[in-house]
Structure formats: structure tokens, C-alpha cells
A and B are shown apart, each in its own frame.
Chain A
Amino acid sequence: MVKLSRLPHLALFLALAAAPARAITPADILVIGGRYDDLVSLDPAEIYETSGAEYAANVYDRLVTIVNGRPEGALAERWEVSPDGRRFAFFIRPGATFQSGTPVSAKDAAWSLVRAVKLDKGAAFLLKQLGLTANDAERRIQAPDERRLILDLPEALAEDFVLKALASWVGSVIDSALVRKFEQKGDFGNEWLKTRSAGSGAYKLSFWRPGEGLALDAFPRHWRGMASMKRVVFKHLAEPSVLRLMVAKGDLDVARGLSADDLAALGRLTGVRVRTAPQAGLFYLAMNQRHPALSKAPVRQAIRRLIDYEGIAGRLLKDTKIPHQSILGEGFPGARLERPYRLDIEAARKLLAEAGIKPGQLTLALDVRNVAPSLDIAQALQADFARAGIRLDLRPGDGKQVLTRYRARVHQLVLAQWSPDFLDPHSNAQGFAWNPDNSDQSPFRLLAWRNAWEAPDLTRLVQRALRERDPNRRGDLYDELQRRLLEDSPYAVMFQDRHVWAERVDVEGFALGPGVDQLRLDQVSKRRANP
């Protein structure tokens, strides 16, 4: 008979005995936790969000790839550019096969590029920048034989730019024989490919469950050889505290999207390592030029001096963002790293007086995402603006809500983020300084348009740099552009993003780069004895 006083001990024993055996992740499976609920489609011609770009980078190969900022052959083992800079010939690597077993040919590559332009989904603009249109894409992209792809551009562009655009996820080469089987109503198999994979990359899709995550399996016949991790699982975990618990326990190999506090706590554990890497994304304050006060240069200058760049970075952002003021982030060739602006209330007051604005006279509305750290940064700005006599009304909203207002040009100030689509300076230059049509009917709604900023000379400069084929002269043009935007523009670039993640100490080769899709899963391994 068990004595009553022993019952609690017995209960504890039973509970411990009944607890399932806890295991760390298997040696040949990589489990990554983070936010993976933004995936809308797995079709590379439709993808535009970060998680999708990372997926495509590992499931599909492109003609070329970017390694340490330089183009390198991928499915194309080499390429040639005609002397006039308009014709690119790519030579397909022999021996590469799709996951279906079909050999990769130049015809697949040509079909994939034409398909992306003609489908005209969110990512199509990346190829349209090369001057390709739905009407002439077929004529301009041709495969005269199985090994050769010819790209004829309407005008000569910087070689680096063309290759980097083709190296982005929209340039993914798709198994045309497979996808065409599922074509319906001229959709190029888009409906089918939205939830499936048909690539030649190091991994193929095992399953995707929206809102839960996805799993990829290694493709044994990849032309670079089979990856070390047989399976990679991306688990959608929205709550940072849960990520922290799971990576600490070993149920996750990599945790992304952790808060600064969680990272600090994880950094003190023995089995976990916290890592950071530069990311090209920028965090900036935008000023709508339709607002009478914001259209005055001294007011814009004053606002740049009402931001405590260092203080906010130190107190609120810790390692997750670092102060940066130019439109090209660190990691871009030729990025200007100087930071001419700092918090200077007196100078801001003088500039406001110069613009004829008395203390207490100006009230501005600031649209901001209702999440950390955006809201915290907005509150810090509110306090410093008040010291110079500007009242800042915060308008918090969901990310897409803020973006909708920004794109409708109804904001006054907005705290926003920008990520380049690929690591060529044109991506940011076009985003920030190119506005060929400032009317409400303009088909191009990038940042200069959203802030109603007419900048014809800068728009011309952006075009010139895009067409400049001499790399040195091109670099000089981007330097000039950065300098002029630093001097005056409707933006106060404040911070550059950093990738910050925690990984188990046995994980090797998990590396993130400045671009959105630089994660290469076939380079990841685990230092563990037995599976």
C-alpha cells in the first residue's frame, strides 16, 4: 500500500516516466524556425517575398549566380557579350538534369524567361527592366539549339546589371516539358506550379503547408553533387519566445526572427551560437513632397537632424540594425559609408526658422507599422521632434495597411523599409531616385513617385548609370547619385538591416548575405557523428 504522503513523489515519477523521449534534430535533417507564412506561391515567376526567394534559390538553378558580388556560371558554364553590348550568348552546362530526370536545355531556359515576362506577375518587372516586353520576349530570347541561349536586348546595358537581373529568382530555369503538361488557359502552368516544384536545384519540394511551413528534400543527381542535409524543414513559428525555447532545446537547428532580448539570452547558452551578417535592406523615413512644409528643403534638412541615429541603434535595435545614411547599403560595391547627419536640435530649430516655421506651428502625421521596432523608433522620433517644436502624430497600422497608404501617396511621413531585389546598385537607384512620370496615372510607383518627388535630372542620371558599360565610370555615377541624395532628398535613410540568427553549435555553413536569396542550403552540414 502506498502511503498518502508518498503520493506526490509517485505522481512526479509517473509523469517523468511518461514523458516522451526528447531528441535533438537528426544529423542529416536541418530544421529552421522563423516566419514562413508569407509564401503565396512557389512559382518563381510569381514569387516576390523573401521566403519565396530563398525557396527558389535552392530548388531552381539560374543561368548565372552571384558569388561574393560577382556573377559566376551556374546552368550556363560560360557566356559571351557582343561588342555592342546588346547580345548575350549563354552556353548551357552539359550533364545538368531536372529533378524529373529530363536534361536541362537552353530551350527550357528560354521558355522560362519568356514565361516570366508573359505571365507578368509581381516579379516580372525584374526582367522588364532589361527592356523585354510580353510582345517581343519570344523574339528577343531564343534557343537556336539545346546548348545555346541568345538574349537580344533593345539597348546596351551594363553587363553586371543584366547578369544580376538574370541571377535573381525570376531567372530560375523551369522544367518546361513537365510544366507545359499542366498548362491551362494560357497560364504557362502557373496554377500547377504555384504549389509544386519543377527545377534542377539542389533541393526539391517535399511538401508545403501554408501557415505551417515547408520541407525540401535533397536532389541526389544535382550537377554540384548531393547536398549533405537530406531534408530541410522550414517551420513557421511566429512567436520569438517560442523560437528561443526551441533552439535552446535543440528542436530547431536555426532560429530566425528572434528579438534582441532573446538573442542576448541565447548568446549566453553553450549549445547555441548567435550570428549576424549584413543585409542590404534599409530603414528610412520618407517625406511626401505634396505636403507644403515637407516640400521645403530646410524642413527636410531639419528633419534629418532630428533623428538620434546612434541612440536609437544602441538602445532599441542592438545588433538587428546599424546606423547607415546612404541609399546603397554596406555590401553593395561603392556604397558610401559616411554618416553626415546626427541629432542636432539647435541646428534643426534654425533650419525650421529659416523655412518660416515657428515652434509649435507644425504638426506632422507619421504612418508606422504597429510592430517592434518600428513603433519604438517612431516614439523616439516623436520625442526628439517635440524638442524642436514639431508635433508628430503617430498613425500605427498593419504592414500592408501602411504600404497601401504609402502607395496611394496619402501619407505625410512614413517609416518604411526597402530591400533591393538584387545586388546591383540600379535596384536601389531606381527605387529611390527614378521617377519618369510624377502624375497620378504613372505606371511606375516606386519610392520617388510615392513621395511625389519630381527629380528629372536624377532620373536621367539613373538611366545613364544603367547604360554605362564601363564599370569604373558606372561606379562614379552611383557615387554621384548617393552624394546628391545624401545632400537633399525626401528620405532620411536611418539604418541598414542585419541578419541575426541563432544556430546550434554543430551547424556549419549556414550563411546569409546582403541579398534576399543568398542562403544556399547545399552548403550546410552538421558536425555530428551518427544520424
Chain B
Amino acid sequence: MRRALGGLAGLILTLFGLLLVTFLIGQATPIDPTLTLVGDRANAETVQAARRALGLDDPLPLRFATYLGRVLTGDLGTSTLTARPVLSDLVRVFPATVELATAATLIGLALGLPLGLAGAYWHGRWPDHLARLVGVLGHSVPVFWLGLMALLLFYARLDWAPGPGRIAFALEGTVPTITGLLLVDALLAGNGPALQSALAQLVLPASVLGLFSVAQIARLTRAYLIEALGQDFVLAARARGLSETRVLLFHALAAVRGPLVVALALVWGGLLEGSVLTETVFAWPGLGAYMTQALMSADPNAILGGALLVGLVFVLVNAGADALQRRLDPRTA
């Protein structure tokens, strides 16, 4: 109970600090937010009316206090960029990012874990070199370039993948929005063609983004396992005559599952903040693209709302990972 209360207090304090810093940075941005609303040719009267509507004439502390008061009642304000409530914008763009980030993390896990395992088991031999090569590639190839190359090869040349976007053009608007996650909504609606299309559209961007998680997950799995494989309990297991598969999967891997889960959560959490370059190349309407647009237009409410969401997601993912680690590894409880 005390831990839960402490956690909640920490969460509130973190979010307050995050909002304050974002608010202050927003004020320092050398962009006039009224430009988005009234353009650059409106006369002073019109500009002044827009400034009043945005509350820009109030003193800074009052503006922050007003904003905080509204946030507490669940009102994140209206975006100057989309003319809609920021909350409804976030509800629209965030699921797209969740879908992409989750798929990329799953691809990362599916490929990164075996790669890291092989690298650790055959330490210093070719599977290890391969694991390290993927790691280096994943960290050094620019995602923008990789995305374009993937489109060029798999979409334009080979015709294996559909082009950019979240769903095939002909199926646009056929899936009623329930969760915002297109795959889930298509499933709930029992819309087979939409599900197939959404899945096909997801494969390429998720794979491109996934390469980065493959690299991270493979590198960490390898490092944790190399350490674990040198421990006495592994030696003891081998001495008892257990098969190498059992030793590797049920002893060594089981011992490092705690830190691995945390690493996985961090990878997922990082991707949930939105990947603006991947989203741009694949015309994926997610949080990254939304936040970048908001920053470039000095859209105060959208920036604050987005930052609040990112902060909230990060804190929650971390807290979830910690809780999971405590369950998986009694030593950390």
C-alpha cells in the first residue's frame, strides 16, 4: 500500500515537472502561435483577437495554472493545428503508434532473442559475429534511408508489400473505430479483407522499425546470457547431465528474464513515443508526426498534451516493467 502511494506521488510529481518544463520550453519557442490561426497577413485587430483566444496575453504563471486546472478536469484544450480537442487528436493518433510500436517490438523479440541466444551460446563464433553485425547495422543504418530502400525494393520493385498508409485505399472508412487499433477494430468488426490489408500495410514499417529493436534485444540478450552462462548454476546444471537446450532455455535464460523484460519494456516504451521518420516515410499517422507538426507550429496545447501522454506512457511502462521484474526475479522484490 505504502509502495503504491509512493509510486502515485512519484507519478504525479514527474508529470507535473514534465508539464512545467514543456510549458516553459513552449514559451521559449521563437514562433508566434497565432500564425497558424490567422496567417501572416491579418491586421493587428485580428491577431490580437487570436492572442486573446489563446490566452497569450495573461501572465505566464496564470497561464500555467489555468492549463493545469483544465488538465485536472480532463480538458487538454484545443489544438490550433487541427481545430479539434487535443484529447481527441491523441485518441486518434496514439493507437496508430501503439500498433506500429508493438509490432516492431514483437518482431524485435522474435528475431532478437534467438539471435542473442545463438550469439551467447556460440560466443566468438559465426553466430556471435552475425548477432553483433545485426546490432551494429541496427544502430547505424538511418531509419529514413532504410524505410525508403524497403519501399523501393518490396513495394516498387518486387510488389510484395503495399505502399504507404494504414489500410488499402479501397477499404478506407470500412472499419468502425472502437479501439483505434486498426487490427483489433477489423477483428471486432469481423472484416476479413480490412484485417488482411491492415496487416499487410503494417509489415514493412514494423519490420524497418523492428530492425532497431532486433539490434537492441539481440545485444542485451547476448550480453546477459554470456554472463549467466559463466555462472556456477549453469555449471551445476551441466554437471547434472541436462541437455544443452534445457541448460540454455530453462536455466540461463530463466535467470536473466527479469532484466530482459525491463529492456524489452524500455524498447517498447521508446517506440511508443512515436517514430517520426518511419511515420513520415510510411505515411503512418501516429504520435511522432503529430508532435513534430505541433512543435513546428508552436501549437501550445498539442505540445503539452503530447508530452503529457509520452510522460504518462513512459512512467507506466516503467512501473509495469518493474512490477513484472519483481514477480520474475524474487531477489528484486
Please give the residue numbers on chain A whose beta carbons come within 8 Å of chain B beta carbons, in ascending order.
Answer: 15-16, 19-20, 22-23, 25-26, 31, 37, 40-41, 48-49, 120-125, 128, 194-195, 206-207, 209-212, 215, 233, 235-239, 241-242, 245-246, 248-249, 251, 397-401, 403-405, 407, 421, 431, 441-446
Contacts and interface: CB of A to CB of B under 8 A. Distances in A.
B152 interface: yes
Contacts of A405: 30
A355 to B, nearest CB: 31
A239 B280 contact: yes
A398 B196 CA distance: 40
A254 to B, nearest CB: 14
B84 interface: yes
A246 B83 contact: no
A37 B297 CA distance: 11
B251 interface: no
26 contacts: A15-B160, A23-B170, A25-B169, A40-B37, A41-B83, A48-B38, A120-B49, A121-B38, A124-B46, A125-B42, A125-B46, A206-B173, A210-B83, A210-B89, A215-B172, A239-B148, A239-B281, A249-B155, A249-B156, A251-B169, A400-B32, A400-B296, A400-B297, A403-B32, A404-B32, A407-B40
Nearest to A410: B30
Interface residues of B, number: 56
Contacts of B159: 19, 22
B89 A124 contact: no
B36 interface: yes
Given A22-B159, A249-B156, A407-B40, A398 B296 contact: yes
B229 interface: no
Interface centre among A15, A120, A206 (most CB of B within 10 A): A120
Contact of A242 (B37, B200, B283, B297): B283
Contact of A122 (B46, B81, B82, B293): B46
Contacts of A124: 42, 46
Nearest to B193: A20
Nearest to A206: B173
B210 interface: no
Interface centre among A210, A245, A441 (most CB of B within 10 A): A210
Given A120-B46, A245-B151, A399-B296, 16 more contacts: A20-B197, A22-B159, A120-B49, A122-B41, A125-B46, A128-B43, A206-B173, A235-B165, A235-B283, A239-B148, A242-B283, A245-B163, A246-B164, A251-B169, A398-B296, A442-B44
Contacts of A37: 293
B290 interface: yes
B31 interface: yes
B230 to A, nearest CB: 35
A404 B35 contact: yes
B44 A445 contact: yes
B39 interface: yes
Interface string B38-57: 11111111100100000000
B247 interface: no
A443 B46 CA distance: 9
The list of the 4 closest CB pairs from A to B, nearest first, reads A122-B38, A443-B44, A210-B82, A48-B39
Nearest to B92: A209
Interface in B13-32: 30-32
Contacts of B108: none
Contacts of B36: 40, 400
A386 B251 CA distance: 70
Given A236-B283, A400-B296, A40 B80 contact: yes
Contacts of A441: 44
Nearest to A446: B41
B93 interface: yes
Contacts of B45: 120, 443
B289 interface: yes
Interface in B289-310: 289-290, 293, 296-298
A48 B50 CA distance: 14
Contacts of A446: 41
A122 B165 contact: no
Contact of A212 (B46, B285, B298): B285
B269 interface: no
A294 B324 CA distance: 66
A286 to B, nearest CB: 13
B119 interface: no
B162 interface: yes
Nearest to A126: B41
Contacts of B84: 195, 210
B32 A40 contact: no
Contact of A404 (B30, B161, B293): B30
A40 B197 CA distance: 30
A207 B165 CA distance: 16
Given A125-B43, A237-B283, A20 B152 contact: no
Interface string B56-92: 0000000000000000000000001111100001001
A251 B151 CA distance: 13
B184 interface: no
A238 B285 contact: no
Contacts of A20: 162, 168, 196-197, 200
A246 B83 CA distance: 30
Nearest to B151: A245
Contact of B46 (A121, A235, A239, A251): A121
